[in-house]
Amino acid sequence: MTVETILVIIGVVVFILLLLRIVRKSTSLPAPSYMGRLLDSGFRHFFQPPRTVVERSGVTPGMTVMELGCGSGAYTTHMARAIGEGGTLFAVDIQSAMLHQLERKLRREENRDIKNIELKETNAYQLPFADGSFDLAFMVTVLMEIPDKGRSLREVKRVLKPGGILAVTEFFPDPDYPCRSTVVKLGRRAGFALDGSEGNFWNYTVRFRKSFADRSED
């Protein structure tokens, strides 16, 4: 392959990414279910490794965790194994078709040892959980797909325990990719305190924490 060919391929990829970003600017919708296999592919995991996402989230064994926008489960099983048998992971998504894909994934031989995942079909504005239910909530390339981001973040804050963590991971090739400063601003506006940030422009995770002063909400 010549240098010219490589440059043409790079140019085409950049053009497609820019075009997708322009299209996505006019709408805020979840990734369609037919993309489930791509979103949970080895290709994606190569560039956005599950181990990195899990480590940056701040998860520890035994936690009660919510994944908002789990999709077909690209990172769900990895997080479930990280919290172990003593923890519980609630995988939440608005699309039943995505949850069906995750169900099929959990029935595979390599995942039959995972017993700590519960699936919930709901939107990001009315989570079917009591106040202060979770130690940690995480989203992977999901936040910018939600039309009313502030409302959803406040709802996540409601179901987190005081001191609980919200981890937001973003990935540059995603058409909805936001700058890190945008995510930080959204989290702070929703009443979260910034807990930490890891990664680079290409792939980063921002962690927020619900203040212990918010006990009055629970």
Q: Give the model confidence (pLDDT) of 20-46 as tens digits.
A: 444 444 455 566 655 555 666 677 788
Structure tokens at 178: 């936001």
Residue extents of the structural domains in the chain: 31-217
Mean pLDDT value across the chain: 85
Question: What phi and psi values does residue 67 have, to the nearest 5 degrees?
Answer: -105, 115
DSSP classification of residue 123: -
CB 169, CB 143: distance < 8 Å:
no
Question: What phi and psi values does residue 26 have, to the nearest 5 degrees?
Answer: -90, 0
CATH code of the domain made up of 31-217: 3.40.50.150
pLDDT-flagged residues of the chain (< 70) = 1, 3-41, 215-218
Confidence at residue 46, expressed as pLDDT on a 0 to 100 scale: 87
Structure tokens at 120: 């919930």
Confidence at residue 76, expressed as pLDDT on a 0 to 100 scale: 96
